[in-house]
Amino acid sequence: MDALDYVLLSLYFITVLGVGLAARRSIKNSADFFLSGRSLPAWVTGLAFISANLGALEILGMAANGAKYGIMTVHYYWIGAVPAMVFLGIVMMPFYYGSKVRSVPEYMRRRFNRPAHLLNALSFAVAQVLIAGVNLYALALIMQALLGWPLWTAIVVGAAIVLAYITLGGLSSAIYNEVLQFFVIIAGLLPIAIIGLVKVGGIDGLFAAVRDTKLGEAGLHTWADTGGSDNPLGAPWWGIVFGLGFVLSFGYWTTNFAEVQRGLSARNMSAARRTPIIAAYPKLVIPFVTVIPGLVALVTVKGLGADKGDLQYNNAIPLLMREFLPNGVLGIAVTGLLASFMAGMAANVSGFNTVFTYDLWQEYVKKDRPDGYYLRIGRWITVVGVIIGIGTAFIAAGYSNIMDYIQALFSLFNAPLFGAFIIGMFWKRMTAWAGFWGLLSGTLAAFIVYAGYKWWGWFTFGSDLDESFWGAGIAFVTVAIVSVVVTLFTTSKTDEELSGLVYGIGRHDLSADAVAGDQAWYRSPLLLGAGALILAFAFYLPFL
């Protein structure tokens, strides 16, 4: 990088801090800090929803997977994201937004009991600081590879900037910066994809080169050879459909508060429902700037795929940037990548500080304090969360492919929660203690599968991702079985207690708080959701 690149990077840092200072003026109470006062329009929350996901998982992780697993990586988008995002908007958001809960764990407390709530709140808090560490580590990789900064320096500087604008402006600062970051990310990644394709002779040249790699022809297809595990992903079709497409995907998109929080900040029910559906449309085409560069790296970077050093799969994007991009364009690309990691980490930190303050501190430590007290706690715990994230960044450094690490975390934390959540939402007979014991047993089952594969040598899977699919599926089935058994021996809540929390008991008025224009046909969540699903199916057709 030269002076021009540093100027572009500096302008970006100044802008995000400026947004934080501007947002600070709107913070009058804890609801403003943690939920933006539930005042934001759908297009803002929709772009923030997708930008919050465009962190290390999406950029470095999906590019690494593109190089390692080929075109099969698109399963994470077209079956592993879009259907769950549509389901969240149409089916689940009315329960979240209509019941006026402030977090996903709070829903668990109302639907089940305080032990289930405490378990969910603690597991979510742990998961968020671990994932924040992934984003910090990825940010540090970029700074180390392209700026020459030591890993420690890069981690601390990146964390300090995120800490500054979240502490200043709360969720509003995070969301408005995420809208800005969405466009910066795309502007930064497009040159990598376009120049990379030009270098290898276009899409035809790329596919011909992939056929000559260890992936071979299988690296260019999505569903071929999935009758068994003899494919680049090492997973059969039922593992992809049930483990990824159902349990992992729905578990992440519908119960991960770092994402759901964006919908809860919307100004009304219609905007909240459209939030994840609007985000589904850019999600459909993100593979062009993640998976394609991963394939380009596979065919242009000799020796890519080492367990250690610069040639790890995680470095696919930085290596392409260093190789292909001229100064000026390099500055935009570096800024885009840093924006993506900051957006991802900000989502983790804002979710963490909300759950810690409302669901742990206010519920179990200090009740009935003035609202200003909880606002101060929220700001202080943001500092603590970032500091812990700095520590967990070095855990992520132990994985040559951070996507494998992320998916392992999702199978441990999100899959069991989704099992308890979705069964409890649609089966009113499920008891409070069934929710707690189901969640606990599912989490333990996922941990045993992971530890038995990685540490104890009990199990064998086609790949690390295959283990995540199986771990998620086993966790879900465990939750279902334990929930049924415990329900048979415990007492269910009454219909009055479950009103508005379980499907079919009580109704949320989807149009009571509608504003002008919400009834327009093109704003219908059902229509928008159907369009996203049809496009996801159509995108698969050329790669079967």
Residues 6+ apart with CB under 8 A from 214: none
Identity of the amino acid at 343: A
**Through-space distance between the first and last CA atoms of the chain, rounded to whole angstroms:** 41
Q: What is the pLDDT of residues 99-147, one digit of tens each?
A: 788 888 898 899 999 999 999 999 988 888 888 888 788 777 777 777 7
Q: What is the mean pLDDT of the chain?
A: 86
Residues 6+ apart with CB under 8 A from 324: 192, 195, 196, 199
d(C-alpha 478, C-alpha 467), whole Å: 16
275 backbone dihedrals φ, ψ, rounded to 5°: -55, -60
Could you give the angle at the alpha carbon of 385 between the alpha carbons of 265 and 186, nearest 5°? Answer: 55
d(C-alpha 239, C-alpha 229), whole Å: 9
**What are the DSSP calls for 389-413, one per residue?**
HHHHHHHHTT-S-HHHHHHHHHHHH
DSSP-derived 3-state class of residue 507: coil
Question: Which pLDDT does position 131 carry in this prediction?
Answer: 84
Answer whether 258's CB lies under 8 Å from 350's CB: yes
Work out the pLDDT band at 57, boundaries 50, 70, 90: low
Can you read off the two tokens belonging to residue 397? 């450094």
* Residue 285 pLDDT greater than 90, yes or no: yes
Question: Which pLDDT does position 400 carry in this prediction?
Answer: 66
Q: What is the pTM of this model?
A: 0.85
Asked which of 99-103, 144-148, 288-292, 432-436 is least confident by mean pLDDT, the reply is: 144-148
Asked which of 51-55, 63-67, 389-393 is least confident by mean pLDDT, the reply is: 51-55
Q: What is the pLDDT of residues 159-210, one digit of tens each?
A: 887 788 777 777 777 788 888 888 888 888 898 999 999 999 999 999 999 9
d(C-alpha 538, C-alpha 518), whole Å: 28
Identity of the amino acid at 351: G
Q: What is the pLDDT of residues 236-275, one digit of tens each?
A: 898 889 888 888 888 888 888 878 888 888 888 899 999 9
Alpha helices (H) in 265-401, listed in sequence order: 269-285, 287-300, 316-324, 329-354, 371-396
Average pLDDT over residues 454-477: 86
Average pLDDT over residues 23-40: 77
